[in-house]
Structure 1
């Protein structure tokens, strides 16, 4: 995950719908697509956490139209997704990988490329966060920080909307599980025409990706190798530190105000 959000460019349209789940090399994949297609890539994690607060709030509004219950939801969802992804040549990671069906309707010429890795290794990398993470505590820590204060609301909107719709089942834990991988692949094979669906491992480098896109293989440019998990972990640790410092400042300010008010009351 990079630290700078990409900006849309006029005249650019989506050519690649990145359908891979998080922790499948989505950052490297996005950088590679951006290079090959000469335009910005929308990487969900980077865009969400490094954009103005209005960005994540807009996505929350869009996601709340899922599951789609009628024509009004469908229209709002399509308009919202198009609004957020126009001007990019590719998209990857959440939330766009949850809207493959809608994106195919909006961008019928785009190819759907699902980044993959060993499913068990994927779950082993994600399980500690899912099973040991405490979103309630984290949301309190991040509450003083712009944009990040909306992270829990965004997460809940996905779980209650499209993510829950695709991957959660009654009687099971309402959170990601190992079964999410299989259900995701099953969903893609169901909704994406066979000729438009490609599976790609970033460890294979330029050649297979260039073959999918029909572009020349770069001769003197190494394939980007970016670590999604490490970048996110570093970002969240720094954000937690910022949150704790912000809370410390709030407590000090409240303490000073209370002390001053008490002294003022004694004088009068």
Structure 2
């Protein structure tokens, strides 16, 4: 009997998930076709798929990502008053283990989750640095860390809405790039990029690794996963402008949501203030009746 064969998962663990001893890790860094890949995998029948852009309103997810980042990235060790407990296998299972596929910002944790889930199949997309970096800079470093936007969403909107996605991004992005700010992340980008892909290739057994070029379409992906090739074109949906539109739409939606929350919270106070003003102007119901009665002789 194979001593490393995965045991049958407990009933509460999704079949084919990472926690079950299977699963798929898409460990290319963000802006490496991650949205195209997860769209393709959904066409192949994978239903429990994690992509960061779809997790914005899942505050539990972002709280876990902050804890994982503090534990995984040395730049955050001792950076604040909080202790940095280790992020255990049980923590990863609670964070990502119930998914069959993880992608996008999961790439930031590539080395760590590849070690935690050694039986998972790994899909690795590596774009040439000189084409990847401008896209990464525009869609992540510029879009998420504009000074005004970062302050607004991290310091004001996150506490109001309880949506902590923007508060978690510095921990993930800067931590993985061994940085404390955008300038340092840019300075370290090439070295970290090269190290990331070299480390994943070193850790993952060749039989579990697919070096995937999205332009090759369905064939290598389906062969690697043992799936039939669908009778539809391969989805190419990870366009930079699409991502920027998603970020801008999300920011607008969160701004409107926070304004609505503030209005609802302040409505009792506003009601009292308006009532007081109306009373001072003698605009209450009794005041209006009195005015009508006083003017009856002239009507």
Give the TM-score, by structure 1 length: 0.73
Indicate if the aligned counterparts of 2:161 and 2:258 stay in contact, CA closer than 8 A: no
SS in 2 for 1:144: helix
Which sections of structure 1, spanning at least 5 residues, go unmatched? 1-7
User: What is the correspondence of 1:91-130 to structure 2 with a 5 Å cutoff?
Assistant: 91-94=102-105, 96-129=106-139, 130=141
Mean Cα displacement is larger for which, 54-63 or 12-21?
Answer: 54-63
SS in 2 for 1:175: helix
> Once the 2 structures are TM-superposed, how far is the Cα of residue 150 of structure 1 from its aligned partner?
1.9
- Equivalent of 2:25 in 9, 17, 37: 17
Mean Cα displacement is larger for which, 13-22 or 207-216?
Answer: 207-216
User: What is the correspondence of 1:92-171 to structure 2 with a 5 Å cutoff?
Assistant: 92-94=103-105, 96-129=106-139, 130=141, 134-142=145-153, 143-144=156-157, 149-159=163-173, 161=175, 163=176, 167-168=177-178
Q: Who is 1:60 aligned against?
A: 66
Q: Who is 1:208 aligned against?
A: 220
C-alpha root-mean-square deviation of aligned residues, in Å?
3.7
Q: Who is 1:229 aligned against?
A: 240
Q: Who is 2:80 aligned against?
A: none
SS in 1 for 2:185: coil
- Judged with a 3 Å threshold, the aligned counterparts in structure 2 of structure 1 residues 33 and 231 are, in CA distance, closer, same or farther, namely same
User: What is the correspondence of 1:190-205 to structure 2 with a 5 Å cutoff?
Assistant: 190-205=202-217
Q: Distance in 1 between matches of 2:50 and 2:163?
A: 22
Indicate if the aligned counterparts of 2:150 and 2:166 stay in contact, CA closer than 8 A: yes
Query: Which gives a bigger RCO, structure 1 or 2 (Cα 8 Å, sep 6+)?
Result: 1
Give per-residue Cα distances to partners, 1:203-249, cap 9 Å, x unaligned.
Answer: 2110111222233322x232222235333322222233334445666
SS in 2 for 1:227: coil
- Judged with a 3 Å threshold, the aligned counterparts in structure 2 of structure 1 residues 173 and 199 are, in CA distance, closer, same or farther, namely same
- Equivalent of 2:100 in 89, 98, 111: 89
Indicate if the aligned counterparts of 2:65 and 2:172 stay in contact, CA closer than 8 A: no
> Once the 2 structures are TM-superposed, how far is the Cα of residue 56 of structure 1 from its aligned partner?
1.5
- Judged with a 3 Å threshold, the aligned counterparts in structure 2 of structure 1 residues 28 and 243 are, in CA distance, closer, same or farther, namely closer
Q: Distance in 2 between matches of 1:116 and 1:77?
A: 28
Mean Cα displacement is larger for which, 140-149 or 111-120?
Answer: 140-149
Q: Distance in 2 between matches of 1:258 and 1:122?
A: 56
Q: Distance in 1 between matches of 2:128 and 2:174?
A: 28
- Judged with a 3 Å threshold, the aligned counterparts in structure 2 of structure 1 residues 240 and 262 are, in CA distance, closer, same or farther, namely farther
- Judged with a 3 Å threshold, the aligned counterparts in structure 2 of structure 1 residues 30 and 63 are, in CA distance, closer, same or farther, namely same
- Judged with a 3 Å threshold, the aligned counterparts in structure 2 of structure 1 residues 131 and 237 are, in CA distance, closer, same or farther, namely closer
Higher Rg: 2
- Judged with a 3 Å threshold, the aligned counterparts in structure 2 of structure 1 residues 246 and 78 are, in CA distance, closer, same or farther, namely same
Q: Who is 1:5 aligned against?
A: none
Q: Who is 1:182 aligned against?
A: 194
- Judged with a 3 Å threshold, the aligned counterparts in structure 2 of structure 1 residues 206 and 80 are, in CA distance, closer, same or farther, namely same
Give the TM-score, by structure 2 length: 0.67
